[in-house]
Amino acid sequence: MTLAPNPLAAPAATLAATPRPTMIEFRDVHKYYGDYHALRGITATIRAGEFFSLLGPSGCGKTTLLRTIAGFEGISSGAVLIDGKDMQGVPANVRPTNMVFQSYAIFPHLTVAQNVGFGLRREGGTAAEKARRVDEALEMVGLKGYGARAAHALSGGQRQRVALARALILKPKVLLLDEPLSALDKKMREQMQVELIRLQRQVGITFILVTHDQEEALVMSDRIAVMFEGQIAQLADPEMLYRRPATRQVADFIGVMNFLPATVTSEAAGRIAIDVQGLGPCEIDAGQAPGALTGGAAEVGFRPETLTILYDGQTATDRETPGTIEEVVYYGDMTYYDVKLDGVDRPVRISMRNVFGRPVLDIRTRTRVAWSPGALVLFR
Amino acid sequence: MTDGRGLRLYAILYLVFLYAPILLLPVFALNDATIVAFPLSGFTTKWFGQLAQLPTLFDALRNSLIIAVSSSILATTLGLFAARASSRYDFAGKGPIMGLIMLPLVLPEIIVAMSLLMVLLGMGLNLAVWSVILGHTLICMPFAIAILSAAFQSLDRSLEEAAYDLGESRWSTFRLITLPLVMPGIVSALLISFTISMDEFIIAFFLAGAEPTLPVYIYSQLRFPKQIPSILALGTILVAVSVVLLTIAEYFRRRGIAKVGGKDTGGFL
Amino acid sequence: MEDQGWWGRFRRSESFAGLALVSPTALYALLLLAAPLATILLYSFLTDGDTQTRIVWDFTLDNYIATLTEPLYRAVMIRSLSVSILVTAVTVILAFPVAYYVSFHVAPQRKSLWLFLITIPFWTSYLIRVFLWKVILGYNGVINSGLTTLGIIDEPLTFILYNVNAIVITLAHAYAPFAILPIFVALEKIDRSLLEAGQDLGESKAMTFLRVTLPLAMPGVVAAVLIVLIPTVGDYVTPQIIGGGKIPMVANLIQSRMLDLDNRPLGSALAVVAMLVVTVVALAFVALNARFLKVKK
């Protein structure tokens, strides 16, 4: 459960400083399957050269949205534009996109080289030229010398690489990846995450990844669209998404978030005064409260790592609140404490890095918890 | 595993029961006696030799081959449409439509034969080889569809999408990806349909008119005790050919499953 | 409404592709199966004509009345149905242990071989197989001559001769694979850990079989029953060859009324009634086992 934003991904500031041209544009896209409203008004843009993720639980419409870009799904209303061109009526086989399928869809009756070179059939050029391009593509994904192998003899990770090479050899404007890592084991998945980031940097093509794994999305993406029930709940870079989730649902879906009841007492000049159960009254910035506020009852959320348990002799830099440890979960590098703050009926979760010389505390220990109003997010 | 051993014995006895008639076939076909009974009188191949002197047998064989080749091709072609449609698309009335197409699987053949016969006679048509082809296509179709549907269903749909995504047209996707991957199923369906048609008696009996097929010819000869040893010789040949064809069909069916990386669930049905 | 229009378009496109693709096959079945069956149904309400007119367009229920009241027809109908039920029971009961053995006691890589061995006899000439049973069971047949040669019997056994028993044996043999395969498929679908759970919860192997395996295998048994019951009612060859034409079943009756006597309406009515009766029996059987079939979802 390490949720630090990805150091490899370009920081949000860089993107903002050098705005890239738009590659994909969704204009109020709706999609029905019979009675079922699968996409409910998607409006968003994906920039050229970015690593973009569609994140959400199963059935949220993320794969459907990806397939509307590929052209495998028609849309009921709205428009999908790729590189400024409306894709209405443009079939999948002529769109400037290529796809890496969840099952990889490696043609079982062809060799690795025939698979990778499949899309070159319709292009001009000599056989030698095509063979050279296939070799290059295989080398790029680390499968040099595998060309003559039978496709069905490959491991999961190798199939994934063949699928990547096969899609990238056609130099698409957009590469679509439908849960490409879900079939791999944990270790292989983490390795492929890093390789995909490297590959995307190398080729500079827009990558759009569909995933239900929030950690994977945070690690790999420049920007993420979180989807629930056919709608985009929030579109932001990983850090923003993690620190300032737009809705409670997003906050709950990404990482762990504690929630405490709160009351808005006053609101003026970009500052909001709130009274949080267990934490007491404090003031937060308007930026910490997504959505319109009308005052009255609300809820604040905060991440487990924004709280710190104070050991004897330590003092809080900002605010502190007393509580009792109810549960201790030891993870090796981390320890999670469930602490019942005084005056709160439900415990909050706090994560502490295990440092040499600092003991893991016991259940029922009375303790003080340090926190800061700046780490709170206010939800209506 | 004690109960396993008892069951195994039973299963083997059951196989003996299943194979008893087929195994007796060559025994009496090679027996030097006109009466089919024990004890055996001696070894002979003369019954096989006599087959060559039956001119009507060759007419029947020719009819049977024409019918079996035509109806297996027709049934497999029509089966391809239905198998593809049912494994790929949801369409209005799918249940009733597929139910009707698969109905001959359970419908007694006498009903199929009689109802077709009534219609053909009612229309004043002369029965011949073609009317048997129509009937055999009808009863082979469900078997072809069962085999082809399995082939289509074990085909990962994203394979076709991948080819389309890589720039191929719908037709070239079908030619380059779908067809090679379901080809074993097609071969298997052709062979099974051919075998069914070659062996089918009732529809051929009622719809062949004056152009009997091999089973119809055999049936007509069963009345003559003198002919029975040669009929058994003929039966031996037919069964041997069927077994060879079925073994090839099974080989293709399994290779088809292995090719697309599927798991063998066994059986033609 | 905008959505409504889009709806229509969507339905048309999705449904249309499937319908267009299935249409050649559906059309074939419609013309060569549905239409002839409808013709039979129509004929059954018409009146028999002479050899010239054949059919007179006079709507009547006489054919049905004859079918249901005439002793000969009733006797044949009852015999057909009882033979068919008996064959089904024998076939399914004999087949179940084989399906069970192949599913539970045969190594996975050898299952296909077993199934192949079981299906091969089914694909070989039905006519010749039926005839061979006559040869095996006949007065001077293989069994009698064999037993006489071995000195076990002096007189040929007659209970296996040209009678209903012989018909049942022959049909049970012919439909064996039809019964084994559906049961095998149902048994294969059973999650093996369910059986372990059954034993873990304190049941004996036998009780686990009765309380877990058998109920879960019932969909296969029902399918096997239907797939044997319905076609055997209309079997033509076996009574003709084994019974020597002396023990007609309904198929023989239909044939003789329609062709030998050229009474198409009566033959049609017999066919319709036979199909209705077997459908009713089949539906009743399905209804009795409905609780086992629901589990599937």
Least Cα separation, residue A91 to chain C (angstroms): 15
The pLDDT value given to residue A293: 61
Average pLDDT, chain B: 86
Q: Which of A93, A102, A155 to mutate to test the interface with B (most CBs of B within 10 A)?
A: A93
Q: Are B214 and B146 in contact (CB under 8 A)?
A: no
The pLDDT value given to residue B1: 43
B267/C185 Cβ within 8 A: yes
Share of chain A above pLDDT 90, in %: 67
Residue A121 has pLDDT above 80, yes or no: yes
pLDDT digits (tens, 9 = 90+) for C14-73: 678 888 899 999 999 999 999 999 999 999 999 887 776 677 888 888 889 988 899 999
C234/B21 Cβ within 8 A: no
Out of A92, A105, A170, closest to residue B156 by CB: A105
Out of B82, B92, B198, closest to residue C15 by CB: B92
Out of B158, B161, B166, closest to residue A166 by CB: B166
Interface partners of chain B (CB pairs < 8 Å, 3 or more) are: A, C
pLDDT digits (tens, 9 = 90+) for C114-165: 888 888 887 777 888 888 888 888 777 777 777 887 877 777 776 666 778 8
Least confident of A290-294, B154-158, C92-96: A290-294
Out of A34, A74, A77, closest to residue C2 by CB: A77
Structural domain includes residue C46 = no
Q: Which of A29, A32, A40, A64 to mutate to test the interface with C (most CBs of C within 10 A)?
A: A32
B261/A92 Cβ within 8 A: no
The pLDDT value given to residue C294: 67
Residue B104 has pLDDT above 80, yes or no: yes
Identify the three-state secondary structure at position B147: helix
Residue C253 has pLDDT above 50, yes or no: yes
H or E element, residue A152: none
Q: Which of B156, B165, B172 to mutate to test the interface with A (most CBs of A within 10 A)?
A: B165
Residue C138 — φ and ψ, nearest 5°? -60, 170
Q: CA end-to-end span of chain A, whole Å?
A: 27
The domains located in chain B, with CATH, are 1-44 (no CATH), 52-259 (1.10.3720.10)
> Does the CB of A202 have a partner CB in chain C at under 8 Å?
no
Least Cα separation, residue C260 to chain B (angstroms): 12
> Does the CB of B266 have a partner CB in chain C at under 8 Å?
yes
Residues of C in contact with A77 (CB under 8 A): 2, 6
Least Cα separation, residue B98 to chain A (angstroms): 22
The pLDDT value given to residue A326: 94
Out of B91, B118, B198, closest to residue C43 by CB: B118
Q: What are B159-162's contacts with CB under 8 Å, separation 24+? A: B159/A105, B159/A107, B159/A108, B161/A70, B161/A72, B161/A92, B161/A99, B161/A101, B161/A105, B162/A99, B162/A101, B162/A105, B162/A107, B162/A166
Least confident of B21-35, B71-85, B161-175: B21-35
Residues of C in contact with A74 (CB under 8 A): 10, 13
Average pLDDT, chain C: 84
B177, two tokens? 């990806």
Q: Which of C2, C6, C13, C14 to mutate to test the interface with A (most CBs of A within 10 A)?
A: C6
Structural domain includes residue C34 = no
Least Cα separation, residue C11 to chain B (angstroms): 9
Q: What's the whole-number mean pLDDT along residues C265-284? A: 90
What's the half-sphere exposure (Cβ side, CA atoms, 13 Å) at B22? 24
Residue B25 has pLDDT above 50, yes or no: yes
- Residues 164-193 of chain B with CB under 8 A from chain C are 192
Residues of B in contact with A133 (CB under 8 A): none
In this structure, what is the dihedral angle of CA atoms C3, C9, C11, C17, given to the nearest 10 degrees?
-160
Q: Which of B38, B131, B247, B250 to mutate to test the interface with C (most CBs of C within 10 A)?
A: B38
Structural domain that includes position C184: 71-296
The total number of structural domains that make up chain C: 1
C254/B110 Cβ within 8 A: yes
Interface partners of chain C (CB pairs < 8 Å, 3 or more) are: A, B
Structural domain includes residue C21 = no
C2/A32 Cβ within 8 A: no
Structural domain includes residue C9 = no
C26/B82 Cβ within 8 A: yes
Identify the three-state secondary structure at position A220: helix
Who wins on pLDDT, C162 or C77? C77
Average pLDDT, chain A: 89
Least Cα separation, residue B267 to chain C (angstroms): 6
Share of chain A above pLDDT 70, in %: 94
Q: What's the whole-number mean pLDDT along residues B35-49? A: 80
Q: What's the whole-number mean pLDDT along residues A193-202? A: 93
Q: What are A252-256's contacts with CB under 8 Å, separation 24+? A: A253/A55, A253/A56, A253/A57, A253/A214, A253/A226, A253/A228, A254/A3, A254/A55, A254/A214, A254/A218, A254/A226, A255/A1, A255/A3, A255/A214, A255/A303, A256/A1, A256/A303, A256/A304, A256/A349, A256/A351
CATH of the domain at C188: 1.10.3720.10
Q: What's the whole-number mean pLDDT along residues A239-246? A: 91
Q: What's the whole-number mean pLDDT along residues A327-350? A: 92
Q: What's the whole-number mean pLDDT along residues A183-195? A: 90
Residues of B in contact with C29 (CB under 8 A): 100-101, 103, 138, 141
Least Cα separation, residue B148 to chain A (angstroms): 18
Structural domain includes residue C44 = no
Residue C61, C-beta contacts closer than 8 angstroms, at least 6 positions apart: C45
The pLDDT value given to residue C2: 42
Identify the three-state secondary structure at position B34: coil
The domains located in chain A, with CATH, are 7-248 (3.40.50.300), 256-379 (2.40.50.140)
Amino acid in the structure at residue B55: P
Identify the three-state secondary structure at position A206: strand
Least Cα separation, residue B243 to chain C (angstroms): 7
Interface partners of chain A (CB pairs < 8 Å, 3 or more) are: B, C
B contact set with A (CB within 8 A): 156, 158-159, 161-169, 177, 180-181, 259-261
Structural domain includes residue C62 = no
The pLDDT value given to residue B47: 84
The pLDDT value given to residue A183: 84
C18/B94 Cβ within 8 A: yes
Least confident of A194-208, B179-193, C7-21: C7-21
Out of B162, B167, B180, closest to residue A101 by CB: B162
Share of chain B above pLDDT 90, in %: 40
- pTM for this prediction: 0.81
Structural domain includes residue C19 = no
Q: What's the whole-number mean pLDDT along residues C271-279? A: 90
The pLDDT value given to residue B66: 96
pLDDT digits (tens, 9 = 90+) for A28-56: 999 998 889 999 999 999 999 999 999 99
- Residues 35-94 of chain B with CB under 8 A from chain C are 35-39, 78-79, 81-82, 84-86, 88-94
Out of B156, B167, B259, closest to residue A119 by CB: B167
Residues of B in contact with A108 (CB under 8 A): 159, 181, 259-261
CA angle C253, C254, C259 (to 5 degrees): 105
Compute the radius of gyration of chain B from its Cα atoms: 22
The pLDDT value given to residue A12: 46
For B244-254, b/e burial (b = at least 16 CB within 10 A) is ebbeebbebbb
Q: What's the whole-number mean pLDDT along residues B103-118? A: 90
pLDDT digits (tens, 9 = 90+) for B195-243: 889 889 999 999 988 889 999 998 888 888 888 888 888 888 888 888 8
Least confident of B125-129, C94-98, C115-119, C120-124: C120-124
Structural domain includes residue C246 = yes
The pLDDT value given to residue C12: 53
Confidence of residue A305 (pLDDT cuts 50, 70, 90): very high
Confidence of residue B29 (pLDDT cuts 50, 70, 90): confident
pLDDT digits (tens, 9 = 90+) for C3-28: 456 555 555 566 788 888 999 999 99
A107/B164 Cβ within 8 A: no
What's the half-sphere exposure (Cβ side, CA atoms, 13 Å) at C244? 9
Q: Which residue's structure tokens are 């539906």? A: C283
Residues of A in contact with B168 (CB under 8 A): 93, 121-122
Q: What's the whole-number mean pLDDT along residues A173-195? A: 91
Least Cα separation, residue C107 to chain B (angstroms): 12
Burial class (CB in 10 A: 0-12, 13-18, 19+), C277: middle
Residues of A in contact with C11 (CB under 8 A): 34
C127/B215 Cβ within 8 A: yes
In chain C, whose CA is at the least distance from the CA of B244?
A: C120
